[in-house]
Each structure stands twice: as C-alpha cells, then as structure tokens.
Structure 1
Amino acid sequence: MSQNITVEITGKVIETNSKQPIEYATISILNNNDKKPITGAVTNTNGIFIIDTHATNFYIEVSFIGFTTQTFKDFNISNNKINLGVISLSEDEQDLDEILIRAEKSQTEFKLDKRVFNVGTDLSSTGASALEVLNNVPSVNVNIEGEVSLRGSQGVQILINGKPSVLTNADGNALGTITADMIEKIEVITNPSAKYDAEGTSGIINIVIKKSEKKGLNGSASLNVGVPNSNSFGLSLNKRTEKFNLFSQIGFGKRTFPRETTSINSDLINNITINSVGESEFNEKFSNILIGTDYHINDSNVITLSGTYAYEVEDQNSTANYNSIDATNSITDSWIRDEITKATNPKLRYELQYKKDFKRHEDQDLLFSALGSSFRKDQSSDFLDTILTGSDTDTQQETRTDYKLEDYIFKLDYTHPFLEKYTIETGSQYAINIVSNDFAVSDFTNGVWVDNADLTNVFDLDQKVLALYVTSAYEGDIWGVKLGVRMENTDLYTILKNTNETNNTNYTNLFPSIHTSYKLNENMSLQAGYSKRINRPGLRSLNPFSNIRNNFSISTGNPDLLPEYTDSYELTSIQKIGKASLNFSLYHRYTTDVIERVTISFEDNINISRPENIGTSNTTGLEFNGKYNPINWFSLNGDFNINFFSRKGVFETESFDFKGNSWSTSLASKFKLPLDFDFEISGDYFSKYKSLQGETSDNLYADLGIRKKILKGKVILNMSVRDVFASRVNESETFQSDFYLYNSSQRGRFVTFGISYGFGKGEAMEFSGQRH
C-alpha cells in the first residue's frame, strides 16, 4: 500500500462475562519489525473505537488493565478499512491478583490544604468500624467512649463525603456503624480552607465512602463471629450499566460491649468517701438497608439519589457495688445499684445530588446536593438500689427519654479553572438542625411513681447556619497559593419548655484562610497555612439534664454556652528519602472562650459537672509521621505528636492558669508471610496530661490482624484482635482542696473471625455488616 493511503480501523471492545462495553480500552498500532508503537486510541463509553493510520506494515493490540491483551496480525483490508468487529476481553486473573495485592498498601497523598489516607485493607481494621479505622490514621485518636480527637483536641468536625451526617452527630456510637470495607479514604484537614465548614476548632476529618465503578453485577458477602459478641452478616451489591449505577447494601447482626468501671468520690473536709466498682454489658441488635442509583444523563450530567434506613434495638444491664467509708476507714453503708436500660433507634437518611461537568476543563464542575436525615431514640431505664448494710432503705428510680433529631443541608458549589494554573471556587450552604429531648426522672415513693420536677423537662434546639464562601488558588509546578474567606450566619434558639427558659442568639462571623506550598526539589516540599475556626456547642453540651447512671457523679449540660473560636497556624515539610517518606508539622492554635467540663458542685459526696467557657488556650505542637518500605514484604508506619499548652482563665473567682504538655506515638508493622498470609501489628501510646482540675492518665495498647486470601482473592479469611493485652484503660483524676475524684473505664479485648466472598467482578471486600 502507498503511504499516502489512510486506513481506517474500527471495532467494539466488550467484557467476556457481562458482555458490557469497556471504556478507555487501549488500541495500539505497532510496527511489525521493531514492535514500536506507531499510533493509538482509546474506546469511548460504548466501547467503540475508530483509528486512522498511514502505516503499511503493522499489527494491532487491544488491551485494558486487569484483562488479557488481544493481538491481531491477520486481518482483511476492504476499501481501505479494517473492521475488527466485537472484541471480547477476559480478566487476567494473575494480573488482577497482583493489582489487588498492591492495592492493600495504604498510601498517603498531600494536597494543598489536606492529607489523604487511602484506607486499603489494613488488617487490624478487619471487621472493624469507622471509629477503629480512624484510630489507625496519623494525628487521629478515638478514646474508649468513641470521642474523636485530632492532635489531642476534640474540637474536630467529622464529615461523610464532604457533608455533615446524622452518623456523626447523633447520640451513641453512631459513627461506629460505618464499616471499614465501605471506606475508600480518609481526608485529614488540620487547617481547612474557606471552602469547608468553619465548624471544628482542631480541623476536619472527611470520610469518603466507596462507590464501585465496575460494570456488570458485582457483590460481596461476609459472615463474622467474635468474642465478645460481634456476629453479623452483610451483603453488598452493585450493578453498573451504561446509564445507571445501582448500589445496595443490607446488614444485620448483634454486638456486645462489656465495660468495667471504678469511681471514687472523697470529701476531704468531712473525710467521707463513696467508692464504686461496677460492670456493664451493652447489647445491640441491628439491621440496615441502603439503596441508591447514579443516573448518567450524558457524559456531563449525573444525578445521584440514595436512601438508608436502619433500626437498632439496644439493652444495657449494669451492676455497681457502692461503699460509704468514714474517717476511720470503716464501711458505714453498702449497697448495690442495678440498671436495666432498653432503647430503640430508627434512622433515616436520604440524599439528592446533581453534578455537571463542563467540556471546557476537566476540573470545572457545578455540584448541588440536598441531604435530609432523622434519628430517634426511645429509651427507658430502671434503677434499683439494694441496701446491704446501713440504715437506708431500698430505693427505685426510672428515667424516660424521647429524643428526636432532624438535619437538612443544602449545598451549591462551583469550581472554575482558568489560565491553566488558576482556580476559583465559590458556593453556599444552608444547614438546619432541629432537636428535641423529652427527659423525665421518676422516684418510687410510698408505693407510687412521682415525677422529679428538678430533673424532668423538654429541651428543644433549633439552629440554622447560612454560609457563603469564595476561594482563589494558583497552583504551579513549583509553588502554589490558595486564599479564601467564608461568611457564616448562625441563628440559635433553645427552650426549656416546662420552665419556659429561652436562649435566642444570632451572630455573623468571617473566617479567612490562606494556604501555600513550595516544591524545593523532587523529594521535598513545604506547606504553610492559616485559618480561623468555630466550635459551636452541641446538644450534649447545651442540654441541662443529667445522667443519673452513677448518682454520685452527675454530668449535665449548659444552655448558656458560647462557641469557641480558634486561630490555627501550620507549617509542614514533606520529604522522600529512598524508600521512606517523612512528614514534619509545626502548628499553633489560639482559642478563646474555651469549653471545659468542670465540677461546679460537690456536696454530700455528689459531684455535679457541666461545661463552661473558661478563658483562653495557647497550644504549640510538633508532629512527625513517616512510612518506610525497605523490602517488598515489610512496611513500617510511625507517628509522633507532642504539644505544649498554656491555659489562662477564671471560673467563679478561682484562677485556672496553668501550663502543661502531652505527647503520643503510634507504630504499625505489616508483613507478607509465606503461603499467602498477611500479618499486621500496631501499638499506640498516649502520655499523661494535665487538665483544668486534675489530670488524665497515660494509655498503652496494641492491635493485630492476620489474613489469608484464597481463590485469587475471591475469598478472604481473617482474624483481628483489638486491644491485645486488654491494657486500654481511660483514667482521670480531679484534685481540689475540698474533694478528690477518680474515674476509670475499660472495655477489654475484642477478637473477630470472618469470611468474605466476592462474586461477579468484585473481590471479597471484608464487609462486616455492622449497623449504619
């Protein structure tokens, strides 16, 4: 053939099993003599390709990652056209298995204003919840109560797919209901830009949920058993076609959380001590269903609609032995306090999202989302005090809680890149938070139940936050900068209905931010940032009603709390040295109207605590984390954080000026063993640190996991042990001139065994079937 003749090559590429078209399959035209490429193309969304060539001595290859390559050397040319017809590609099982193994290693990415941790399939998270996965992320800690802190501060906002969720602000262990297999990545934003909510003084943690992009029918089923009870079944299904992506998930099971507690209340004036030792068992039965779809109107427009419904049944039984000890160290009174608590929790979450991409630039897009969620808790508790020694008589109490939460969030975001290296982002958000808490305490007196008027009331909260933001960024090859400002107007209304006490507050704030990065060389970069943050008190802090589980240690809320404000500064270096990646961060936070829980009353050995706004805090810290992969079967991850703080404040004429420090470190090792076994062990240590009225003790614990893949990764057998040595104990002490308090809590060791099976084109995803 003459070289001035153009040959047109056409065809369609599909997947062998599902017969679905394969998008972005590569068509290569290669020289027959030296096998060098001449030209090439990729398939469109329908799997179709058209490619022209002037070559005369060539062959054709059709390939796609994870699939076997098809080679064509004998073909017919008719009217200067080659029609290869329908080309069927099948999965390359060996290649696919290698891809899956490589994907197991969690990777860290650094963006201009955040760090991204791709979860992978960390072994110690097998069968775990999002809370347990978070505990393996550098800078993040989750205590035994499920409270999340970032660099030692609990003023952190947690988002799901970039948006607030009922799972992150409802009572109870709601965040623990997201399963590890559902998480694609976790974004840690220690110094957020103006694009993000200003809520959270120490930053933002964004949990990004996986969404399958595989065409055809994919799924995974898992069965887990554990000690204590961690028994569950989960099924995940995904069906993707050219226009629709249908996804669903169901799960049900039963879990048990045991706990051992110790408390000491000492009156140092009258030399009377009340101590207690107790144990409890929290059981939950749960079921949930998620269903949703993405509808691709065309290449540029996608609508997503999803809904989740979950129902939980909880019961808790606890027993505590109490002793009253006088100045001679003699027991004057002794009794047992028994509790039986039952609750039901229905949850509903629904979301509509529309995304428009623009052909002008791949990063130009418009995103609108409307999210609604509701959470209810109907709970009742019975308390019985049985006297063992002393002059008191047996007493009974009961409580009732009717809790309702509704959240509505509307967001509009627009991203506009221009001149290759510049980007403008702008948007708005309107969030509505409606809460009602109907709480009652009754005492059994003279054979009848009598409401305790001091502890019975209805507390309602209605909060609306309107936000507008704009950011402008330049991101070049060497350096980048991002400037932004966010305006938020907050309208808060609370009421205690029985006493008609109201609090109506409206305030507007500006939250500026600036971030910059500079690339010194291929192996080292610097990042710096500043942002202003707010921490609005939530229902638990505002609700003035008490928890009487231990009626000698009562915690209550404060409806007059003001929000905290924080100025946050940060400087980070990112280095690669051989097979190691190292990251150093120097940070400083200045916070006003700091919210601290303090003891406001100690009388008759009854300690009553509530949150108060007390002064200011200056915190300066240094964080180091790194990853080292010296050989392909071993990796090491480490994190170290130390901060020094200075507190200034006065509460009821008492000065709370003091200085202190705290530090933490974690180390995780992963091994690939013979016979396709993987093993991981991790350890965490948190130092003792000084608090406003006392100190919190140090903490040391370890987790481990082991896994074996069989049948090319379609089946996974796994075991995980959390808190291997049962050493994770939360201890705190309060020292005052007239009283002393001690509290400890421990949950113990958790062992989980599981088997997961992936079918269709999916691999076993280790879905633990936990509630969500």
Structure 2
Amino acid sequence: MKQIKFAVLLVLLFTSFYNYAQQPPAGRNKVKVTGKVFEKVSKQPLEYATISIMAPNDTKVIAGGITNPKGEFEVAVAPGTYDIKIEFISFKSTEIKQKSIEDDTNLGVVNLSEDAAQLNEVVVRAEKSTVEIKLDKKVYNVGQDMIVKGGTVSDVLDNVPSVSVDTEGNVSLRGSDNIRILIDGRPSNAINVAEALRQLPADAIDKVEVITNPSARYDAEGGSGLINIILKKGKNQGFNGTFIASTGLPETYGLSANLNYKTEKLNYFTTGGYNYRTNEGGGKTNSEYFNEDGTTKSYLDEDRDTKRTRDGFNGRAGVEWTLTPTTFWTNAINYQKNTGEDVDVINYNNYDAARAFTGASSRLNNADTGSENVEFTSNLIKNFNDKGHKLTADLSISRNTDDSNSIITASPNFNTTLNDQVQKQVLLQADYVLPLGKGGQFEAGYKGSFGDLNNQYVITDDLNQPDPNLSNTLEYKENINALYTQYGFKVNKFSYLFGLRWEDTNIQVNLLDNNDFNTKKYNNLFPSAFISYEISDQSNFTASYSKRLSRPRGRFMNPATNYSSNINIFQGNPDLDPSLTDKYDIGFIKRWDKVTFNTSAYFEDTKDVFSFVRSPTGELVNGIPVILSKPINLGQEQKFGFEFTFNYTPFKWWKVNSNFNFYNVKTTGENSYVDVVTGETVVQNLDNQANSWFARINSKVTLPYKIDWQLTGMYNGEQKTAQGKNLGQLGINTAFSKDVLKDKATIAFNISDIFNSRIMKSYTYLENQTSYSEMQFRKRQFNLSFTYRFNKAKNERDKNAAPKNDGGGEGSGEFPG
C-alpha cells in the first residue's frame, strides 16, 4: 500500500513538471492579453472566469486562462487576429470578434450579466468543490458537505483539510493546537471556545478558510496559523431563505432558519436556531503502581461513563446599509444561550500485586452548566474607487458568561463545585488599502483588543466550607494594541508581499483570594514575507515566512483544579509566558481540468512552547497517589512536515478530496518539582522526538435517482510523547441526500463515526506508575435533516453582494497582482 501511494505521488509530481516543461517559452514573438472580469450589477470580480482565444471563425482554442481572485487574467499569444470569448457559469458570455493583437493588449474591464435562461442549470453546473485550494489558503464550502447537515461547527472543522478535532472538541491545525480561531475575521469571544463551537449549528456557516502562514494584516496570535469561520449573510434580491429541521440518535433535534430581505439600499439578514443535543461517551484509565525496587505494588482500573446534554438557542440579526454606491455599513447582534447537564460516573476497582481484587469505590459528578454570549459588531467600508482603494473600520463589543455548578459524591466524601466566569471584550480595528501602480498595493492598520475576565471557583468540603487549597478567584485582564503595514507588488511573474506588525501586550493575572498579583508586559515585532512565482496560468510556486506568537489563555492560566477525578487532576498555571514561533513554508499548486494538486513543506521553530507535564502531588486517596497534570513553558519545539492536498473530479458524478500531512516534532526541555515525601527536587527530562501523520479522504458520488452519497475517512497516526505515546485513531462518516419538492428541499441522513472507533488512546510512563487511557467524548451518532429553500436556488452564488471582504476585519489574505 505504501508503494502504491508513493507511486501515485511520483506520477502527480512528474505530470506537473512535465506540463510545465511543455509550455512554449515566452519569447519575443509572444504578446500579453490582460484584463479584468467583473459582475455587471455588483461590480464584484469573478474568480475562475475562463478566457478563450481562438482563430477567427474557429472553435479550437489556441490559448486561454482563468481569472484570479481579483478577476484579473493574463494570457500569452503570438501576434495576430483572434476571436476572444469570456465565460462564467450562469452568466452570459462575451465575445470579441476579429480582435487585432500586435502588441501587449489590455482589454480593460469586461462586465458579465446574469443569464436568466441558465438559472435552472445552476443547480447542476454551478456547484463549487467542497474544498477550494488557493495560493495562501484552503477554503471549505460548508453548503456542499452532507456529512455536517444537522451538526455543529466542530463537525464542520473536523472535515476541513489540515484540521482535526479531538474527542474533547479541541481544534488542531497540522497536528498543533497552537492556533487562532476567527469568526468573520474577528477572534472568537467565547470563554470556552471548544464548547462554543460545539453549540453553534453548522447551518449558520457559509465557509471556512484555513490560513497556515498569515501575513502581517492578521493578529500575530496563533503559532501554527488561523482558521476563519465565515457566517452566512444572505445577498439575494427580495425575500428568501432556508429552513432546516433535524433529529438524531442519541437524542438530538433542532430547528434553524437563515433569512434575508434585500432592497436596493438595505439588506436585512438573520439566522436563528434551537437545538437539543445529547453526547454519550466514556473512557477508562488502567494504572499499574510500582515499589521503589521496580516490582509491582498494585493496580487500579478507573472506568468512566459520561452523558452531556445541551439545550441551546443561537440568534444573529443584522442589516447592511448601502449609504452611497461606494460606502457600506453593516451592524449585527449575535446572541447565544445554552444550558446543559453533565453526568460523569467513575468506578474504581483496586487490585493487589497478584491482580486479586481488593476493593471498589465510585464517584458521581453531576453538573449543571450554562452560558450566555452577547456581541454587537459594526463594520464600515468606504471604497474610494473600483481599483481596491478603500478604508474599513470595525467595532465589536461582547459580554460572555459561563457557569458550572456540580455535586461530587464519592463515599464517604461529598463535595460541591462552583465555577462562574464573566468576560467582557472590546475590539477596535481600522484598515487602509491603497493600490500603487500596476500590481502594487500598500496596506496599514490598527487594532485594539481589551478584555476582562473574572472567574470565581469554589470547592466545598463535607461541612460545606470552601477548601482554601482548591478554591480561588481569578481576575485576568488583557490589553493589546497593534499596528501593521505591508506592501505588495508584482514584477513579471513574481509577486511579493512584505509586512511588519507591532503588538504591545499588557496582561494582569491576579489571584484575589490570596493577594497574588502578577503583571506581564511585552511588545514584539512580527515581520512577514511572501513570494509567489506564476509558472503558468495553472501552476504557482510560493515561499513565505512569518513570526507568530501564542499567549496562554483560558484553562492554561486558571489555577482552578479540575476535580472530576480525585486521583488524576488538572490545574492551570497563571505564571505561563507566551511562546514565539518562526514559520517557514514553501508550496506548489497545479491545476488541470479535473485535478487540483497542492503540496507544501513547512518548518516551525517555537521558543517557550507550552507542554502538559504529569507529576505526583504526594497526596494519597485510598492509598492511590494523586497525579497532577499542569501546563509549563517547556523549552524549544521544532516541527518539520510535508502536506499534500488533492482534488479530483474523474466524472461529473464523482468528486474526491484528499489531504495528507506528515511531520516530525522535536522537543527539548525539562521540568522540576519537589517530592513532598522526601523534600528532594526531582528533575524530569522531557526531551522527545517523534513522527506522526494525518490523512483524510472524502468521496462524493451521485447515485441513480439523483441520490448523493458522501463517504469520509480520517486517520491520526501514532505519536510518541515525552511521557508516553498517543495511539492511532480511525474515524469514518457517511451521508446520503436526495432533493425533493422540485429541488426546493433536501433530505439528508448521516452517520458520524460508523464503527464507533474515534477513541483517544494513550500510554503514560511515570517513575512509579504506568497508565493506559481511553477517552471517547462522543459515541456513534445518527442524524436526519430536512432542508427547505424558498426564492433561492440550491447552490446559488451571491450575485448582488456588496464589494467587501467576506471575512470581515482581517482582510482577504490574497497576494497582490
């Protein structure tokens, strides 16, 4: 199997370079035909419009190309007289007859109009690929993916190339959770991002952008890159929308609506949804304890059964106002409210050295959870001309609460926990873009982010008194001011983008119960550089560098103890420092008629990397040592990897997307702690080097009777850690869908984790203990959904959108030229 994969890879690479070698050189007998293709009504650039150059009165194409994200094209052809045809699906084509081309010729702006006669064909022909590969990012179109129907944003992200979501909802990119998640170009303001993503319905998402090496216009936060989640914003004229109802097993049901009403000046849009979800999971930890001479002392088997229910409402309403033909103002309010119950049952079975049963105990953690998030956003765009000269301003104000109250019963002990969090966030941002000359562009901007988090955490004992060793009140304040500038330009086939970002950070971490005040102030410069070489209209080579930063947040900083298990506990570290990463990336992309192939090699060098370490606390529970897991600034981490993304459409009825990522991680560092029993300092050497890999393949087939079938498989390879190893993990999902009611509605049925195999399995090796653990956050699920559309084609593109950035305040991220 490995030989077959390697052979296929060689064939793809050979074909790519062979096609490049076969292209005629651009000599003195070649001239350039350039221009732009826009949509006539909205004046938006049309990406992937096709340009065909033919001999007069002949249908054979002599030369051709496609437009870039800015609607621009460039085609090389010998001097002569030609017919030129510009086309885009569902639009009327434009032909220029008998055009004499003797020198470099600019056709100017070609405006295409919607072809009403083709609207019925749009459903079949205009469907975008689920995954679009671009030079500096990958774009995942959620509406084309049946697997996520009736699911959540976590389900969406788990189907995105290069991205994976573990069983606890934590998101990673290229095997690293050192990332930044944006929503409409702005950082997520949720206190618990993983939980917030599990509550937001997939139906509210338009697309997801994965940017592995962001430029200076983006926040420096996120050592391994950015994930930008773009919410739906209706753009079609008149009143239209979509309703979706879903149900599933374990007990899950929901109802959501996406509506918009657009006039010449105003566009009202709203998204609302109610959902009830049940996640059943479980796990186990089997531990073996040793005497000082290395012989077995005892065994402990810890079995866990979990059930989490969530009852939530998500709402979003806004209006986009066209103040003038060049000025657009959008205001929106986002509201999210969730309540739930977590039931966690742990059974402990004790055995002696001979594996003879010695006793049992149990622990019940019954928790009520709740969260409420409110956010107001405002975006103003002023276009000074139609060439990209513009100014944008953004404002975001949010307030988020997250509460959890639990009763822990473990005979003879009885505890209660209270965890109340309130976070307030204000974000200000301004961006200015000025095109300079042919293919040049200057950008500059400011961003201010001001946050305040108050977290009260209380654990009471049997007498209902707070435990001073486990309870605390955390006050976390974070103020960040940033300035950036960057300049991009194009010289022949080379495009360049150089930028510099400055961020000033002021953080206060205060433990109010014991008057422990800690202030961290630092400022950093973050340079970035990108170079792109256009080998041909269908292939490009890129190289990039950026410096990134990761600030410790959330549970990493909070010293509150996770008390769901009284022998395996977790505690945050308020003294963590940020880590800095130097990122290098080289990439190659090649497009054929039916194939798009993208490969990249990347290297990341991180200082003061965060790492979780496990060490004994010296305490015993029923003779079992308590193990503490805690994040520290370990030392240095170097990561080198290769990634391949492959889109293939062998037939109109079959599409295949695949992604493969292999990487090597080398970590150097040590951790020291004081042995409570002996009083001696113990030094843990945590140097580690490991290889791992990740693969995903997605197949979508149109069966007879127009039934669509989608099958997705993913595998996370085994990886060695400093204190053990994580085993491989396989997951397979499938879905079927059928259009009904004259294509106005769709019925979809999907199964998540068909074989119930998405289980995190790991080994941990400590000095006096070894453990084997399994954890499954969500077991196999079945889901049935019904989608109804009115006044809206199934895959209709946004035809009347205002010429603004899709992703909000962070910019488009495209190369200049």
Name the TM-score, length of structure 2 as normaliser: 0.80
C-alpha distance after superposition, 1:632-661 (max 9, x if no partner): 111111111111122211222332222211
Which residues of 2 match residues 547-566 of structure 1 at below 5 A? Answer: 547-566=562-581
Gaps of 5+ in 2: 1-39, 45-55, 59-86, 94-113, 673-682, 797-817
- The one of 296, 321, 345 equivalent to 1:295 is 321
Match of 2:741 in 1: 711
Q: 1:611 aligns with which of 625, 631, 639?
A: 631
Query: 2: CA distance between counterparts of 1:658 and 1:364?
Result: 50
Indicate yes or no: 2:734 matched with 1:679: no
**Deviates most, 508-517 or 320-329:** 320-329
> Does 2:397 align with 1:402?
no
Is 1:633 matched with 2:653? yes
RMSD of aligned alpha carbons? 2.4
Could you tell me how far apart the structure 2 residues matched to 1:22 and 1:358 are?
A: 18
| Structure-2 change in CA distance of 1:498 and 1:664 (3 Å) | same
Structure 1 unaligned regions, length at least 5: 1-20, 26-33, 37-62, 70-88, 387-393, 766-772
Shift of 1:539: 2.1
What does residue 373 of structure 1 align with? 398
The aligned residue for residue 740 of structure 1 is 770
- Among candidates 711, 715, 729, match of residue 699 of structure 1: 729
1:506-655 equivalences under 5 Å are: 506-603=521-618, 604=620, 605-652=625-672, 653-655=683-685
Match of 2:508 in 1: 493
**Does 496-505 or 339-348 show the bigger shift?**
339-348
Higher-Rg structure is 1
**Local SS of the residue matching 1:173:** helix
CA-to-aligned-CA distance 1:161-180 (integer Å, 9 cap, x gap): 1111224x535510123333
In 2, the alpha carbon distance for the partners of 1:715 and 1:205 equals 31
Deviation, 1:68, is 11
**Which sits farther off after the overlay, 176-185 or 485-494?**
176-185
2:204, 2:271 within 8 Å by CA — same for their partners in 1? no
Residue of structure 2 in register with 1:770 after alignment: none
Q: 1:365 to 1:99 in 2, by over 3 A?
A: farther
Note the C-alpha offset of 1:293: 0.4
Q: 1:749 aligns with which of 748, 760, 780?
A: 780
Distance 1:576 1:161, change over 3 A: same
**Structure 2 match to 1:426:** 444
Aligned match of 1:321: 347
Equivalent position SS for 1:166: coil
Q: Determine the structure 1 residue equivalent to 2:47.
A: none
Tell me what 1:4 maps to.
Answer: none
Are the equivalent residues in 2 in contact too, given 1:104–1:122 (CA < 8 A)?
no
User: 247, 253, 257: which one pairs with 2:269?
Assistant: 247
Counterpart check, 1:215 vs 2:209:
no
Hey, what's the Cα distance between the residues in 2 that align with 1:532 and 1:24?
Answer: 36
Contact residue 256 and residue 272 of structure 2 kept, 8 A: yes
* Alignment-mate amino acid for residue 711 of structure 2: I
Aligned-pair CA distance for 1:415: 0.8
- Residue in 2 that maps onto 1:140: 163
Is residue 103 of structure 1 aligned with residue 127 of structure 2? Answer: yes
Once residues 424 and 484 of structure 1 are traced to their aligned partners in structure 2, the CA distance between those partners, rounded to angstroms, is: 10
Letter aligned with residue 702 of structure 2 = K
Matched, 1:336 2:358: no
Instruction: Quote how far apart the aligned CAs of 1:302 are.
Output: 1.0
Verify: 1:436 aligned to 2:451, yes or no. Answer: no
- Cα distance between partner residues in 1 of 2:454 and 2:441: 42
Decide which of 142, 152, 155 is 2:175's aligned counterpart. Answer: 152
Does residue 251 of structure 2 align to residue 233 of structure 1?
no
Runs of 4+ residues deviating >4 angstroms: 21-25, 63-69, 89-92, 762-765
Partner of residue 129, structure 1: 152
Separation of aligned partners in 1, 2:205 and 2:402: 26
Deviation at 1:23, TM superposition (A): 6.6
| 1:661 and 2:684 matched | no
Instruction: Tell me if the contact between 1:687 and 1:699 (Cα under 8 Å) persists in the aligned partners.
Output: yes
Does residue 720 (structure 1) correspond to residue 747 (structure 2)? The answer is no
Query: Are the equivalent residues in 1 in contact too, given 2:688–2:721 (CA < 8 A)?
Result: no
Alignment pair present for 1:266 and 2:288: yes
SS at match of 2:562: coil
Q: CA deviation at 1:320?
A: 1.7
**SS in structure 2 opposite 1:449?**
coil
- Cα contact 1:756–1:764 (8 A) shared by 2: no
Distance 1:191 1:671 in 2: 33
Q: Which deviations, in whole Å up to 9, do the C-alpha atoms of 1:354-393 show, x marking residues without a partner?
A: 111112x43121110010122112221001124xxxxxxx
Which of 354, 358, 381 does residue 380 from structure 2 map onto? 354
For 1:493 and 1:411, the matched residues in 2 are separated by 23
The aligned residue for residue 412 of structure 1 is 430
Partner of 2:311: 285
Deviation readout 1:281-337 (Å, 9 max, x if unpaired): 101111232211011101111111110222211111222211222223223231121
Aligned identity (percent) is: 29
Q: Distance in 1 between matches of 2:749 and 2:444?
A: 46
**Paired residues of 2:331 and 2:379 also in contact (CA < 8 A):** yes
Which segment drifts farther, 530-539 or 281-290?
281-290
Shift in Å at residue 101 of structure 1? 5.4
1:479, CA displacement in angstroms?
1.6
Contact 1:474 1:481 (8 Å CA) reproduced: yes
Aligned length: 678
Contact 1:715–1:764 at 8 Å: present in 2 too?
Answer: no
Distance in 2 (alpha carbons) for counterparts of 1:165 and 1:598: 28
Shift of 1:338: 1.4
Find the counterpart in structure 2 of residue 312 from structure 1.
Answer: 338
Which amino acid in the other structure matches residue 782 of structure 2?
V
- 2:556 partner SS: helix
**Is the 8 Å Cα contact of residues 484 and 512 (structure 1) preserved in structure 2?**
yes
